Amino acid sequence: MIYDHILIRYGELSLKGKNRKAFTNQLHENVRNQLREFPLIQINSSRDRMLITLNGEDPTEIISICQRIFGIHSLSLAIKAENDLVAIKEAALFALKDEKDVQTFKVSVRRANKDFPIPSQELNAIIGEHLLKNTSNITVDVHQPDLEVNIDIRKQHTFITSARYPGAGGLPVGTSGKSLLLLSGGIDSPVAGYLAMRRGVKIEAIHFHSPPYTSEGAKEKVLDLTRKLSEFGHDINVHVVPFTAIQEKIHREIPFGYSMTVMRRMMLKISEIVASRLDILSITTGESLGQVASQTMESMHAINAVTSYPVLRPLIMMDKSEIIKIAEEIGTYPISIRPFDDCCTIFVPNSPKTKPKKDKVEYYESHLDLTKELADLLDNIEVIKVSNSDQEDAPFNHLF
Ligand code: ATP
Ligand code: MG
């Protein structure tokens, strides 16, 4: 006997009506997309669960891919049996014996099909007895069993499952709209992107690049981070913005203490323009309150004033250690700590103002004409599509 199916349980069970339908449809599409390398499988979704028929494909890798897809609460290998007591007993025994290090178990029968002649309680006892008789050193514990053997009697068939693999939780990517993620090569912004995706947000990334001050290696790093993020949902476009001319001019013409604030405002303004061209309704950053000079309350007030778009800051109240923990879990940390310079650190003065005044910034900016540089910049954004299955990143023409 072998496991021939994978059963997927959804998260956020409180979702109702139309939301629920959107949730299941999107999850179905995301799972199909992430499992496109397994041509033999079939995927069927219903209101409360999804079933993958393996048709001979190896489940190990499929499970590990599914564990990164948001909207999945848990997964189990499953055996599909006839609605017949002998077949169910045999499958239940296989599901118990297949697990290592089990000392206690419990049987849970769900009889959705009331035509099945044996009531759940009775069936619990019959199967439990069969399992005890055919194993040694294993006992029943109905309160805290090592393993729960689930028997789900449906109209056509019965599904038998045992061990549960945890899913990533959250909402299926694509159910919460789109956001433009400001992605640096640092530790924080990839984590912010991950958390946005976990809440169902589809992302595109924007990266400010200042050659020759920042190297090709810095760009590669951002693409590697993006590839990691794409494992959690979908292919991601990275908009690489040539920022050198604007940074140089800010550096030349804005008083030192304020150059960082002006540069951040430009980054946000440019992000808003790119977002609006892509019909994206929000911007996401990896900012965390008080972490650096640009992330004080005063700085955020002065910087945020350039946009009316919602700026999502998933990390705003988190400690660095908490952020690092997530970065390690999702696999972005080793990439983030590779030593490459970020454009923001190159021109930043040793002591930027930690409490910039909004009127002062606006005053300095009123003497700064970036019209030409901005037009040039917008004409020269490179878009790179990053996919988790491609080895090579495919460049394609910018949309505008
Ligand atoms: P990170 O680890 O994400 O780089 P950080 O703590 O180093 O964050 P900053 O460098 O001050 O903080 O950047 C704050 C946020 O601004 C980043 O989280 C990111 O969203 C955005 N950002 C910074 N540099 C860039 C860049 N070169 N391109 C795009 N976004 C950037
Ligand atoms: Mg940074």
**Per-residue pLDDT reduced to its tens digit, 219-262:** 999 999 999 999 998 899 999 999 999 999 999 999 988 999 99
User: Which ligand sits closest to the CA of 285?
Assistant: 1
Residue 388: what pLDDT?
77
Q: Which residue has the tokens 């960082």?
A: 260
Structure confidence at residue 399 (pLDDT): 36
CB atoms within 10 A of CB 204: 20
CA of 344 to the centre of ligand 2 (A): 7
Report the distance separating Cα 149 and Cα 133, nearest Å. 15
* Greatest Cα pair distance in the chain: 87
Residues around ion ligand 2, judged by CB within 5 A, are 184, 186, 342
Give ligand 1 pocket residues (Cβ under 6 A): 182-184, 186-189, 206-208, 285-287, 291-292, 294, 342-344
What residues form DSSP beta bridges with 385? 237, 394
Considering only CA atoms, which residue is closest to atom 31 of ligand 1?
184
Rounded to whole angstroms, the Cα distance separating 144 from 159 reads: 23
3-state class (DSSP) for residue 149: strand
Cross-strand bridge partners of residue 53 = 5, 42
User: What confidence score (pLDDT) does residue 398 get?
Assistant: 36
> How many Å lie between the centroid of ligand 1 and the Cα of residue 190?
10
Distance from the CA of 71 to the center of ligand 2, in angstroms?
Answer: 30
pLDDT confidence of residue 252? 93
d(CA 46, CA 54): 17
Segments of the chain scoring below 50 in pLDDT: 391-400
Residue with tokens 């001979």: 56
Nearest CA to ligand 1 atom 21: 182
For position 393, what pLDDT does the model report?
Answer: 43
